[in-house]
Amino acid sequence: MASFFSTSAARNMFYGGTLFSVLLFLGVTLHTESVLPQRDQRAQIATNPAIAAGKRIWEENNCIGCHTLLGEGAYFAPELGNVYKRRGPEFIKAWIQSQPTGAPGRRQMPQFHLSEQQLDDLVEFLRYVSEIDTAGWPPNIEG
């Protein structure tokens, strides 16, 4: 690089550029936080304790290790962000209870031994997620 561009100029560009980007990112974050209540269904969380309980069951059984939730997670098993709309509450519960299928050569889901209460909480959590405004994603009901 030419001599008019000194090392200290390059260093200042780095620290200046970084500071600018950090501030811009934090600024947009603040705005995002301020408009989120209109999109993220937080009123439901406050009034329905089953959602929090369901999220804990979702996490403590590592569901994300095979499935995606709003497109994030593992790509081994179906998207569950919209499974409530695709399958409905009773199917979800029956499906979880009947695992593993044991069909030879097929992908297997473990048996998690969830109680009726836990199944209901998990379904409530999945219903809540299915109602988040995701800008029209996924493209169709198959996820």
Binders of other proteins in range 90-109 (CB under 8 A) = 100, 102-108
> Binding residue for other proteins (CB under 8 A) from 4, 47, 60, 115?
60
Beta bridge partners of 69: 72
Asked if 45 contacts 51 with a C-beta cutoff of 8 angstroms, the reply is yes
Determine if 21 is a binding residue for other proteins (CB under 8 A).
yes
Q: Going by C-beta distance under 8 Å and a sequence separation of 6 or more, which residues neighbour residue 93?
A: 119, 120, 123
1: its two tokens = 């690089």
Determine if 43 is a binding residue for other proteins (CB under 8 A).
no
> Binding residue for other proteins (CB under 8 A) from 4, 47, 116, 139?
139
Peptide bond into 138 cis (omega under 30): yes
> Binding residue for other proteins (CB under 8 A) from 90, 115, 116, 142?
142
Secondary structure of residue 140 in the 3-state scheme: coil
Instruction: With CB under 8 A as the rule, give the number of residues binding other proteins.
Output: 74
Determine if 87 is a binding residue for other proteins (CB under 8 A).
no
